[in-house]
């Protein structure tokens, strides 16, 4: 039966659902709440391990954080009120936490040490340490500053005029946090647009930053003011349900109050190009972040080529896009995505290897992958491994046993 041959769910997916809060925005709300003056409340904070690591680091740095299970309240200390932590700061698995805290702490007049799990200790930190050293930071990492653990002896920094070699929101945000504390004009230029949640959050906390094209300018030092933040649903979480609906005939889902920041939803452009039926309703502004209900209906898809400036706008969605492409007619090419090699795992390898193990027709390239879509053929099935990477685990969760 056609339905049994299909790699989707057995029954159409119908209904409305609300995905958890945006991870990138939650991290930033916790950090900015702590370094602002006055009270910040956060509604919709993502209580996943990564964002909880950020919260516990901010507590260790002196912020008064309470969580009543719904609302998080932070009584901020201002940048100058942060205090030397009594122990190492453990970021767990969170690359955003460790990189943003490098920028924040390099300018605070005390000693701090950042550690994380085994995956964090393998990820490149020189991309943040080198520009911070140019600003005058005393900051060191293992293996010639390439990796964590990281030790920081905070001091007054010079502002940065820096051209980022890769489009990375974590690097940009670390340098903006340092620049907010340095005296003078910091100008950061990116090779392509990475997510701009930090810029939007600086403004939400009463700070000033100008963005023109890919150049971001701020004049420090700045003092920020606590505010009330509502975190929209995470588009990267919504992406898994969007794909589930797109590969299961008869489906129609409405994902409510999802963040649709243009620097995050490159996948929507790609899906439309592939023939997807996806639309936004009920558009709103949440502290300078656009949010909307996303309506998606099943549609047969065709392959596409994706690369260039679109990649940073869908980088976290590539594992689930690869799965989707196995169900799209034709050859999908993902290129210019070498950054995937330095995520929680090497996501080019883990995506290709694990999808191959369950029968997908997919091959690895230097900077991406090629997927041959066969919507009418079932996967052979088999066992696969998330390799400890949440986005690979969520992607494999769509696996439907054959027959
Ligand atoms: C993030 C930026 C991106 C993204 C990560 C979250 C952020 O990483 O992949 O999941 O919150 O700033 P890079 O800055 O390394 O591109």
Ligand 1 atom at minimal distance to the Cα of residue 312: 16
**Structure letter (DSSP) for residue 343:** S
Ligand 1 atom 3: residue of nearest CA: 169
Cα 133 to middle of ligand 1, angstroms: 21
Q: For ligand 1, pick from 166, 168, 191 the residue to mutate: most ligand atoms within 8 Å of CB.
A: 168
Please state which CATH class domain 3-19+234-396 belongs to: alpha beta
**How far from chain centre, in Å, is Cα 255?**
19
pLDDT digit string (tens) for 277-336? Answer: 999 999 999 999 999 999 999 999 999 999 999 999 999 999 999 999 999 999 999 999
Kindly compute the dihedral angle of the four CA atoms of residues 186, 187, 191, 195, in this order, to the nearest 10 degrees. 60
Ligand 1 atom 11: residue of nearest CA: 24
Active-site residue list: 316
Ligand 1 atom 9: residue of nearest CA: 316
pLDDT digit string (tens) for 64-105? Answer: 999 999 999 999 999 999 999 999 999 999 999 999 999 999
Pocket-forming residues, ligand 1, beta carbon under 6 Å: 24, 27, 96, 168-170, 173, 194-195, 315-316, 339
Cα 343 to middle of ligand 1, angstroms: 9
pTM exceeds 0.85: yes
Cα 149 to middle of ligand 1, angstroms: 19
Tell me how far apart the terminal alpha carbons of the chain are, to the nearest angstrom.
Answer: 9
Q: Can you name the CATH fold of 23-216?
A: UDP-n-acetylglucosamine1-carboxyvinyl-transferase; Chain (3.65.10)
Burial of 253 (0-12, 13-18, 19+ CB in 10 A): buried
**How far from chain centre, in Å, is Cα 20?**
14
Q: How many residues does the chain have?
A: 403
Q: Is the pLDDT of residue 403 over 50?
A: no
| Bridge partners of residue 333, in order along the sequence | 305, 370
Nearest one of 353, 356, 400 to 378, comparing CA atoms: 400
Cis-peptide into 166, omega within 30 deg: no
The CA radius of gyration of the chain, in Å to the nearest whole number, is 21
Ligand 1 atom at minimal distance to the Cα of residue 168: 14
Q: For ligand 1, pick from 124, 172, 237, 315 the residue to mutate: most ligand atoms within 8 Å of CB.
A: 315
Cα 96 to middle of ligand 1, angstroms: 6
The mean pLDDT of the chain is 95
Q: For ligand 1, pick from 95, 100, 131, 390 the residue to mutate: most ligand atoms within 8 Å of CB.
A: 95
**pLDDT at 161 (0 to 100):** 98
**How far from chain centre, in Å, is Cα 262?**
14
**pLDDT at 402 (0 to 100):** 47
| Bridge partners of residue 115, in order along the sequence | 90
**pLDDT at 376 (0 to 100):** 83
Whole-angstrom distance, CA of residue 362 vs CA of residue 322: 9
CA atoms within 13 A on the CB side of 304: 18
| Bridge partners of residue 369, in order along the sequence | 334, 364
CATH 3.65.10.10 in the chain is located at 3-19+234-396, 23-216
Whole-angstrom distance, CA of residue 241 vs CA of residue 254: 10
pLDDT digit string (tens) for 232-276? Answer: 999 999 999 999 999 999 999 999 999 999 999 999 999 999 999
pLDDT digit string (tens) for 176-223? Answer: 999 999 999 999 999 999 999 999 999 999 999 999 999 999 999 999
Whole-angstrom distance, CA of residue 36 vs CA of residue 65: 13
Cα 322 to middle of ligand 1, angstroms: 19
Alpha helices (H) along 156-234: 169-179, 197-204
Whole-angstrom distance, CA of residue 145 vs CA of residue 228: 37
Ligand 1 atom 15: residue of nearest CA: 168
**pLDDT at 7 (0 to 100):** 62
Contact 259, 313 (CB under 8 A): no
- Show Cβ contacts of residue 109 under 8 Å, excluding neighbours closer than 6 positions: 154, 155, 156
């Amino acid at each position: 039966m056609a339905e049994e041959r299909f790699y989707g769910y057995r029954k159409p997916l119908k209904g409305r659902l609300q995905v958890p809060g945006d991870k990138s925005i939650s991290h930033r709300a916790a950090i900015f709440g702590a370094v602002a003056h006055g009270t910040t409340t956060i509604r919709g904070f993502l209580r996943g391990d990564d964002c909880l690591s950020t919260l516990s680091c901010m507590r260790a740095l002196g912020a008064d954080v309470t969580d009543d299970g719904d609302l998080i309240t932070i009584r901020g200390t201002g940048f100058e009120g942060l205090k030397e932590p009594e122990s190492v700061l453990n970021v767990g698995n969170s690359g955003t936490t460790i990189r943003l805290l490098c920028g924040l702490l390099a300018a605070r007049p005390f000693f701090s040490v950042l550690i994380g799990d085994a995956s964090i200790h393998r990820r490149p930190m020189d991309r943040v340490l080198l520009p911070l050293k140019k600003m005058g930071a005393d900051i060191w990492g293992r293996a010639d500053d390439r990796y964590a653990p990281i030790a920081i002896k905070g001091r007054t920094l010079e502002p940065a005029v820096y051209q980022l070699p890769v489009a990375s929101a974590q690097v940009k945000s670390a340098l903006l946090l340092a620049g907010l504390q340095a005296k003078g004009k910091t100008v950061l230029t990116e090779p392509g647009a990475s997510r701009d949640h930090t810029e939007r959050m600086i403004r939400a906390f009463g700070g000033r930053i100008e963005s023109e094209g890919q150049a971001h300018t701020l004049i420090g030092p700045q003092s920020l003011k606590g505010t009330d933040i509502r975190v929209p649903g995470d588009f990267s979480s919504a992406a898994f349900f969007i794909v589930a609906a797109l590969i299961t005939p008869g489906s129609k889902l409405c994902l409510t109050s999802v963040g649709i920041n243009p620097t995050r939803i490159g996948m929507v452009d790609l899906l439309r190009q592939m023939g997807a039926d996806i639309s936004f309703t009920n558009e709103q502004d949440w502290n300078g972040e656009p949010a909307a209900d996303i309506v998606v209906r099943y549609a047969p898809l065709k392959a596409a080529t994706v690369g260039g400036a679109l990649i940073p706008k869908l980088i976290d969605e590539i594992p689930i896009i690869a799965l989707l492409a196995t169900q799209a007619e034709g050859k999908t090419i993902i290129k210019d995505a070498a950054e995937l090699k330095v995520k929680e795992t090497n996501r080019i390898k883990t995506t290709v290897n694990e999808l191959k193990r369950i029968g997908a027709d997919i091959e690895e390239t230097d900077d991406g992958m090629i997927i041959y879509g066969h919507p009418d053929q079932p996967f052979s099935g088999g066992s696969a491994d998330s390799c400890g990477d949440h986005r690979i685990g969520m992607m494999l969760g769509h696996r439907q046993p054959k027959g």
